[in-house]
């Protein structure tokens, strides 16, 4: 009986260690890059500054209403915290089964093979609705992991315009 208990315990400990190692490998390979060293050296627009820092040049902050706790605990309260420096999104830690979608120009333009999320094409109005109200272009609701951001109309316009710029415009 004691040998069986020891064998079961050894199996569970080994399986737990293997699982933790696999999760660690998976985490490293798929989480969004938020490293400040990879940020632009200078921000070219207020929209870009909002994406990376969550505030305007004058110091006005965009405020999250709800959203994933990682963003407020580990990040600076900005889009980059979940969508990454390259805007490609990725798995959110510690709930690695949740994915922040890509918010690149091609992903927002409805490239369904990009970023793993099917949606209609975003225009300025629908992207503003996604950012502030959590509504997709088709009217469906984005999950509550996506914060509903509060900011001035001017800041929202700047952020939307930055996100909808084609890649060669950055």
**Residue 6 predicted with pLDDT over 80:** no
Higher pLDDT, 6 or 61: 61
**Number of domains the chain is built from:** 1
pLDDT of residue 162: 96
Mean pLDDT value across the chain: 80
What's the domain range around 111? 31-169
Assess contact for 135 and 129: CB atoms under 8 A.
yes
48 located within any domain: yes
Q: Evaluate whether residue 22 is within a structural domain.
A: no
Residue 7 lies inside a defined structural domain of this protein? no
Residue 9 falls within a domain, yes or no? no
Q: Is residue 14 part of a domain?
A: no
Taking 80 as the threshold, does the pLDDT of residue 31 lie above it?
Answer: no
Range ranked top by mean pLDDT from 20-34, 82-96, 107-121, 131-145: 131-145
With respect to residue 80, please indicate whether it lies within any of the assigned structural domains.
yes
pTM of the model: 0.75
Provide the pLDDT for residue 42.
95
pLDDT in tens, 133-168: 999 999 999 988 888 999 999 999 999 999 998 876
The answer as to whether 124 is a domain residue is: yes
Whether 132 and 148 have beta carbons less than 8 Å apart is answered as yes
User: For residues 114, 85, 62 and 50, what is the CA-based torsion angle, rounded to 10 degrees?
Assistant: -110
């Amino acid at each position: 009986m004691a040998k069986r208990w020891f064998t079961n315990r050894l199996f569970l400990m080994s399986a737990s260690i293997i699982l933790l190692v696999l999760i660690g490998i998976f985490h490293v390979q798929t989480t969004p890059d938020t490293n400040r060293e990879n940020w632009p050296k200078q921000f070219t627009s207020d929209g870009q500054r909002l994406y990376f820092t969550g505030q305007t040049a004058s110091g006005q902050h965009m405020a999250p209403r709800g959203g994933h706790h990682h963003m407020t605990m580990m990040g600076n309260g900005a889009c980059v915290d979940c969508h990454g420096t390259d805007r490609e999104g990725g798995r959110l830690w510690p709930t690695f089964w949740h994915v922040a979608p890509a918010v690149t120009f091609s992903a927002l333009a409805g490239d369904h093979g990009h970023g793993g999320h099917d949606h209609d094409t975003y225009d300025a109005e629908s992207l503003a609705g996604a950012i502030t109200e959590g509504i997709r272009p088709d009217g469906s609701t984005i999950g509550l992991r996506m914060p509903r951001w509060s900011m001035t109309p001017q800041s929202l316009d700047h952020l939307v315009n930055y996100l909808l710029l084609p890649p060669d415009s950055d």
